[in-house]
Amino acid sequence: MKNKVFLFMLVLVLGILAACGTAEKETSTGSAGSETDSTSDTTTEEAKVLRVGTSADYAPFEYVDTKVSEDIIGFDIDLANLIAERLGYELEFTNSDFNSLIPGLQADKYDFVISGMTPTEERDKVVDFSIPYYETEQYMVSLKESNIATMDDLKGKVVGAQVSSIQLDLAEEFGAEHGFTVESRDLIPQLIQEMKNGRLDGAVIENIVSENYLSQNDDLAAFPIEVEEPDFKAAVFQEGSTLKAEFDKVIQELIDEGKVEELKKKWFVVE
Ligand code: ARG
């Protein structure tokens, strides 16, 4: 009888220990981001969800075509989805103003950002960039009727650019040189709107985005701006993120396989 009680106790204790062990394992793998779903007992694997920040004011890279749906679509979104598919992640996009994307990464609101963002020395101090997936150029956009064809035509006028963008820095440099003042706006469509209602005389916007507006607005014109620094685009991560290495590998694969080229054909009005 005593033996039986002892055996029973032993089994009980072992059982409790085993249960603790599993519970602990579950929480630790859970927080480490295991791909297995620890909340269910089934063996189905659920992809880890990555939180993605983007500023969807930037057709054809990231935008919402409200006539069609509320979804964020575009070149960057397709690219992010291709990368995630290969790495076995699921993506959850959040639309946010461009100037809040880096603070959002720093505050751990996003696992990564894709938003046509250009790696710069200053940004590199607080976040990490993937290898570049695209290179672009800059345009000065204005109303056709104002006949602005060179930087000097903007003397004494007001030029806009997006807050926190490299275009704002460029506008300020050129403004100092050619005698125009610079104002910033949160979103790209506001720059276009403000030119139409006469509050801005020009706007510095990258060529692919500009061409998109030019193709849809007969009243707009643009000329290319000569700049020294190349404007690359890259995905952005929290500093030290292990995602960088995973993304770099897949981005290189997608470039080599011509997949990035296919996306350009799909989304850009010019190449
Ligand atoms: N490439 C520029 C930069 O990094 C502008 C990017 C703006 N992106 C956007 N989704 N509005 O500063």
Look at residue 46 in the predicted model and tell me its pLDDT.
Answer: 81
Tell me what percent of the residues of the chain surpass a pLDDT of 70. Answer: 83
Q: Give pLDDT tens digits for 233-256.
A: 999 999 999 999 999 999 999 999
CB atoms closer than 10 angstroms to residue 85: 13
Confirm or reject: Cβ of 118 under 6 Å from ligand 1: yes
Q: Residue 114 C-alpha to ligand 1 middle, in angstroms?
A: 10
Task: Please tell me the predicted confidence (pLDDT) of residue 47.
Answer: 84
Domains of the chain: 47-133+234-267 (3.40.190.10), 137-225 (3.40.190.10)
pLDDT digits (tens, 9 = 90+) for 71-130: 999 999 999 999 999 999 999 999 999 999 999 999 999 999 999 999 999 999 999 999
**Nearest CA, atom 5, ligand 1:** 165
CA 46 – CA 40 distance, rounded (Å): 11
pLDDT exceeds cutoff 60 at 31: no
Q: Report whether pLDDT(32) > 50.
A: no
pLDDT for position 34 = 39
CA 74 – CA 25 distance, rounded (Å): 40
Residue range 38-67: mean pLDDT, rounded:
84
- The pLDDT score that the predictor gives to residue 189 is 98
**Helical residues (DSSP H) of the chain, grouped into ranges:** 2-32, 75-87, 101-106, 121-124, 166-178, 188-196, 207-216, 243-256, 259-267
Does ligand 1 have an atom closer than 6 angstroms to the CB of 76? no
Quote the ligand 1 centre to 19 CA distance (angstroms). 51
Could you tell me if the CB of 55 is within 6 A of ligand 1?
yes
Distance 21 CA to ligand 1 centre (A): 48
- Report the mean per-residue pLDDT for the chain: 88
Predicted confidence (pLDDT) at residue 14 exceeds the cutoff of 60: no
- Distance (angstroms) between ligand 1 centre and the Cα of 98 equals 7
Q: pLDDT tier at 178 (50, 70, 90 boundaries)?
A: very high
Q: What is the mean pLDDT of residues 155-177?
A: 98
CA of 233 to the centre of ligand 1 (A): 9
Looking at residue 21, its pLDDT comes to: 42
Q: Is the CB of 138 within 6 Å of ligand 1?
A: no
- Looking at residue 4, its pLDDT comes to 55
Amino acid letter, residue 136: T
